[in-house]
């Protein structure tokens, strides 16, 4: 995954007071994430249609498994980007609490 340098125009993890936090995805990463989420959105609409048409449950469950896998892919991409940018920056600036924050988030992802 390509990581671009900061432009310094409000795309940092936090401001001087640590209050405003934003991601700073490259345009390529953002496009990739949105494309994946659009596909997932379509898959979810497809599952609703399958249920409306009384599709065989195993087929619906397999489609749900596919959606979960796709969501996991989005989560992994976001996690990698977060670790390569915000997490490193916050550790370098002495904000070691980011590790606890990240561990809590990873635990939620792995439920």
- pLDDT for 17: 56
How many angstroms separate the CA atoms of 93 and 104, rounded? 21
Residue/partner pairs of 97-106 with CB below 8 Å, 24 or more apart: 105/79, 106/79
- 43: three-class secondary structure by DSSP: helix
How many angstroms separate the CA atoms of 20 and 18, rounded? 6
Fold category of 28-109 in CATH: Methane Monooxygenase Hydroxylase; Chain G, domain 1 (1.20.58)
64 neighbors 43 (Cβ within 8 angstroms):
no
- pLDDT for 3: 41
- pLDDT for 4: 40
- pLDDT for 19: 61
Residue spans per domain, the chain? 28-109
Per-residue pLDDT reduced to its tens digit, 3-38: 444 433 334 465 445 567 788 788 999 999 999 999
Please report, to the nearest 10 degrees, the dihedral formed by the alpha carbons of residues 94, 97, 102, 108 taken in order: -170
Per-residue pLDDT reduced to its tens digit, 34-75: 999 999 999 999 999 999 999 999 999 999 999 999 999 999
pTM score of the predicted model: 0.78
């Amino acid at each position: 995954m390509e990581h671009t340098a900061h432009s310094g125009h409000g795309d940092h993890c936090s401001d001087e007071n640590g209050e405003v936090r934003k991601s700073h995805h490259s345009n390529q990463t953002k496009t990739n994430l949105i494309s994946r989420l659009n596909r997932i959105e379509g898959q979810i609409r497809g599952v609703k249609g399958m249920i409306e048409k009384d599709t065989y449950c195993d087929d619906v469950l397999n489609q749900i498994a596919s959606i979960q896998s796709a969501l996991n892919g989005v989560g992994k991409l976001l996690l990698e980007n977060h670790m390569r940018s915000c997490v490193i920056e916050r550790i370098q600036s002495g904000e070691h609490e980011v590790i606890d924050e990240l561990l809590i988030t990873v635990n939620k992802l792995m439920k």
